[in-house]
Structures are given as C-alpha cells and as structure tokens.
Chains A and B, each alone.
Chain A
Amino acid sequence: MSKTWQGYLRTDGRKGIRNTVAVVYLVECARFVADEITRAFRDQDVHLIGFPGCFPNDYAQHMMERLCTHPNVGGVLLVSLGCESFNRGKLAEVIEASGRPVETLVIQKTGGSAATIRSGQAQVKKTLAGIANVPRVEMTTQDLVVGTICGGSDGTSGISGNPAAGRAFDQLVAEGAACIFEETGELIGCEHIMAERAITPELGEALRETVAKAARYYDTLGYGSFAAGNATGGLSTIEEKSLGAYVKSGDAPISGIIKPGDIPPSGGLYLMDVVPDGEVRYGFPNIADNAEIVEMIASGAHMTLFVTGRGSVVGSALAPVIKICANPDTYEALSEDMDINAGAIISGTRDLDEVAEEILTAIHDTASGHHTASEAMGHQEFILTYKSFEPVGPACLPTK
C-alpha cells in the first residue's frame, strides 16, 4: 500500500514537498546582490538560483520559467541588473499566471547594490510570511516526479548503487510515480537493449536516435562523458561507464522521451534527452552534475536520487538530493555527506532489495519534510548555462 504525507498545494494545482522562496539573478552582474539578499535567510527555505549570461537564450528562459513555477517553489524574487537581455517581464508574467507571488527588483532603478539588498530582504520577509499558510494537501507516490543521476562514478557504481536505485525506480513506477533517467551521453553502448524496453517500436527507434545524437555530439567535442576520476575508480571506457549507469533505470517499460523542462504527462519511466539539437554549440551538454540535477527539477522532479562511487558531496537548490553511495570505502570516508550506504552490498552486509527498500524509505521521508544530508548542511548548488533544443518528435510520447 502506498504511503501518504502532507504536501503544499499550489494555485495551479501542483503539489510540492517544500515551500521555498526562490531569489533569482537574471545575469551574473546581479548575482552578488541576489546572494546577499539570500544570505540573511540562511536557516529558512530561501534559495538562490540564476542565469549568468547576458545574451538571450530560449532554453534558459524556458528552464527559468519551469524552475520558478516548480511545485516546491512558493514565491519568487527576481533580481535584474537592468540592461541584460533576459526577458524578465515574460518570466514574471509566467510566475504570476501560476498564482505564485513574484516581485522584480532592477538594481539600476532601485538605487544600487545596498538599496536593492535592503529592499530585497524586506521583500523576501514579506513573501515568507505570505506563503507560510499555503494550503496543505495529501500526497501519495502517484503525485511524485523523481529523477536519477549518477556522478563521480567508479567500478562500484554499476554493481551496487545503480542497480539498487533501479530497483527502487521499478517500485516507484509500479506505484504510479513519474521517474526520469537521463545523460544520454552515458547510455552510449546500451542503445540496443534500451530500445527493446520502449512501449512502441517508434519510441524504440527514437531512443536509439537519441543516443546516436549524443555519440555524434561528444565525438565532435573530442571527449566522452568520462572524467579522470572514473578511470581512477576502475572504469576503462565510456561503454563500461554507460552499462553501469544504465541499470539505474531499472526494468520498467520506457514510456517516453522528454527534453529538459518538459513535464512527464503521466506516471511511468521517461528518458530525458539532455544533448542539445543541431550543430555543436556552447560547449559540453552538461558541464557538471548540478546542470543535470537542475534539468531534472525543471521537468518537475520533486527530488533527485544521486548515485556516487568516488563521493560527490553536492545537493541542490529547490529540490532535495538523496545521495546513494555505491562504494563502501567512500561511504566510510564521507558518511556525513551520504544518505544511503549501497556499498553495504559490496561489503556483504546488505542485499540489493534491502538497499532498494532503504532508498524508498528515504524518498518517503524526504517527501514528508525530512532533510537529506546535503539539505541539512545547506548545500544549494545550481548551474544553468546555454543550450538549444527542438521540441520532442511525435514518436517520443506515445499515448498509452
């Protein structure tokens, strides 16, 4: 039987597991001011996010609209320098239309840094008071969107952490949650076995094309999605890393392909195609793990499962990260940063099902308001950079 807990009901009908105020800088030039505003609320649910670029970008605009109307977000303060290209008016309109309180401060019109920081802090205080009584609503697993990524992978990731996360995903999908896996550059070598899990042959073909696009993209860049630390941990090739990463998608049928910012239309398992469309532009698809986490959140993920072998310590702004440590030695070294010790599978003290059960318990606890390790320490990493995408094709989301 599925567990229930109390979430936050937004005016647009979406249900969140946190009640966060987002302070958003719209160009790097406004980041310091936005950061200073946020620092005054370190022990409250006030998170800093932003986009550093001065040039406009449809992807960044779309991502920011999705992030600011995420179900975990209760209200928003936009901080603009004034002369950047970001369309702050359109962003504010989208947030307002979602029923969330939003204010915009333009530093050049507010009297500079100090005045904007003062004004911003007063604004955040007002927003926090305003959202304190947002209606609560019963939530079940069916209401959840959960993402999974892996980072700092090593030879243990594919034999403990990722299979355990995959088993937890199977259970979530069975209970009606929408689950998202991604990083098509780390599915290179798995495309054929993955395509067989698609709910239609056309979707299977689209899955294969998605991985082929990633292989071409990384080939042009001259580097696979493979960091030096992966080799230190025993991984020798991208396809070896891929096979280990692939298992975190579990065994459920694949219901569709989405792109960053697309919300899964219903429960089921979805692949997020994170590699940009068209010719290679703007550099690497995701420059670090948090860029992947941000894309999960933009697609509505209430939380993200993060499997690590080498030992990542990151969390995220807006949505909690549950860290699953695949390597027993890393767990011992960094236990305060980890939520789950999947390395116990390797040291022989737990089996795969027991760790999958621990992951499911952590998901329910986190959804109920319990802080994850990174959340409790105040981790709020966030990265958003330039990308460009075409909308998904008709084969990507077959109607069930």
Chain B
Amino acid sequence: MADARFKLISLHDSDNVLVALSAVGPGDVPLARGQILSLSAHVTLGHKVAARPISNGELVVKYGMPIGTATEDIPAGAHVHVHNIASRYTATHYRDEEAGLADE
C-alpha cells in the first residue's frame, strides 16, 4: 500500500475527531496545516483520535454530524472509541478482546 501523506484525516471542519488512514501512534503525528498531534495510543486504520480535548457529556462529531456522547473527559490525541463514547440511540455491543482497544 502506498504511504498516505498524512496518517490522520479530518473529514469535516466541525469534527472533533480525526480518522487514521493507516496504523499510527503513539507519539507525535504531523497533521495537515503544519500542526502536530501527540497520540497517547496506537490506533489502526479506520479508528478515531480526539483532535482536541472533548469533555465528558460533549457530542463527538465526525462527518460534521454527532456520532455519540463522550462518557469521560477525553484528552487531545487519545483514542476515541467504545470505551469513552456512547450512542444516543442504542448501546454498542462488542467483544472486549476484539474491539481494537489492546493498548488501553
């Protein structure tokens, strides 16, 4: 697979999460527009990280649309997934060992 120029992509200007285009982190990751985001975890393709701090109870926004509510304070650069956000419709069921949370 050809290397993408940036490993984290913002899908919409109002998003507070970025999507990994390949396995990335932990550590400093360059973003478009010359910024650097320091990831606290290793995340794989398709997973999300916080673009900025997200407070407990705040909406998590991807594609410019809310995809759920933060269930704890999420620092910038943290993995955003089933362990720290919840659906506003129906609960998410997953198998712990396979949810892609190995590093957390």
| Per-residue A-contact encoding for B72-103, CB less than 8 Å = 1, 0 else | 00000000111001111111111100111000
Most central of B86, B90, B100 by chain A CB within 10 Å? B90
Contacts A189-B67, A239-B66; A224 near B19 (Cβ below 8 A): no
A138 within 8 A of B: no
Q: Are B89 and A189 in contact (CB under 8 A)?
A: yes
Does A234 lie within 8 Å of B100, measured CB to CB? Answer: yes
CB contact between A231 and one of B80, B82, B86 (< 8 Å): that residue: B82
> In the complex, how many angstroms separate the beta carbon of B82 from the nearest chain A beta carbon?
5
- Is residue A215 contacting chain B, with contact meaning CB distance below 8 A? yes
Residue from B2, B4, B45, B67 within 8 A of A237 (CB atoms): B67
Size range of the chain B interface in the assembly: 35 or more
Q: Is the CB of A237 within 8 A of B99?
A: no
> Are B98's CB and A236's CB within 8 A?
no
Rounded to whole Å, the gap between the CB of A269 and the closest CB of chain B is 20
Question: Which residue on chain A has the smallest CB distance to residue B91?
Answer: A224
Residues 20 to 63 of chain B near chain A (Cβ within 8 Å): 20-22, 43-48, 60, 62-63
Whether B85 lies near A158 (C-beta < 8 A) is no
A346 cross-chain contacts in B, Cβ below 8 A: 4, 21-22, 45
What would be 30 A-B contacts, judged by CB atoms less than 8 Å apart?
Answer: A154-B45, A156-B45, A159-B9, A190-B65, A218-B90, A223-B90, A224-B90, A224-B93, A228-B98, A228-B99, A231-B98, A231-B100, A233-B100, A234-B46, A234-B81, A235-B46, A236-B85, A236-B92, A237-B67, A237-B68, A237-B86, A237-B92, A239-B66, A244-B63, A309-B46, A332-B1, A347-B2, A347-B3, A348-B4, A349-B2
Residues of chain B at the chain A interface (Cβ within 8 Å): 1-5, 9, 11, 19-22, 43-48, 60, 62-63, 65-68, 80-82, 85-95, 98-100
Given A222-B90, A231-B94, A236-B80: 20 more A-B contacts, CB < 8 Å: A154-B45, A159-B11, A223-B90, A223-B93, A224-B91, A228-B99, A229-B98, A234-B43, A236-B85, A237-B87, A238-B87, A238-B90, A238-B92, A239-B65, A239-B88, A240-B67, A244-B63, A328-B1, A346-B22, A349-B2
